[in-house]
Amino acid sequence: MRTYSIVVEEEEGGGYFVTVPALPGCFTQGATVEECQARAVEAIETHIAGLEADGEPVPEELTPPQLLAVTVAA
């Protein structure tokens, strides 16, 4: 069993976009946060299977990503 953090961002036109910081290139989307969570499981499993099939190492998430805010003058 592996645990990965996902980042769920609301899309401008509706729905949500999901990325997995520990697995670059692994992403999905959904209409609700709950749907995103289910689809993230599928996306992560598929991504890991692809890495293993290619003989690539499967990254582990050592520490969860931090969400920080910065203020810029723009």
The per-residue pLDDT for 60 is 95
Q: What is the pLDDT of residues 16-42, one digit of tens each?
A: 999 999 999 999 999 999 999 999 999
Boundaries of every domain in the chain? 1-74
- Residue with the two structure tokens 């969400």: 67
CATH: 3.30.460.10, 3.10.110.10, 3.30.160.250, 3.40.50.2000. Which one for 1-74?
3.30.160.250
Structural contact between residues 71 and 35, judged by C-beta atoms closer than 8 angstroms: no
For the full predicted model, state whether its pTM sits above 0.85. Answer: yes
DSSP string, 7-72: EEEE-TTSSEEEE-TTSTT-EEEESSHHHHHHHHHHHHHHHHHHHHHTT------SSPPP------
The per-residue pLDDT for 74 is 87
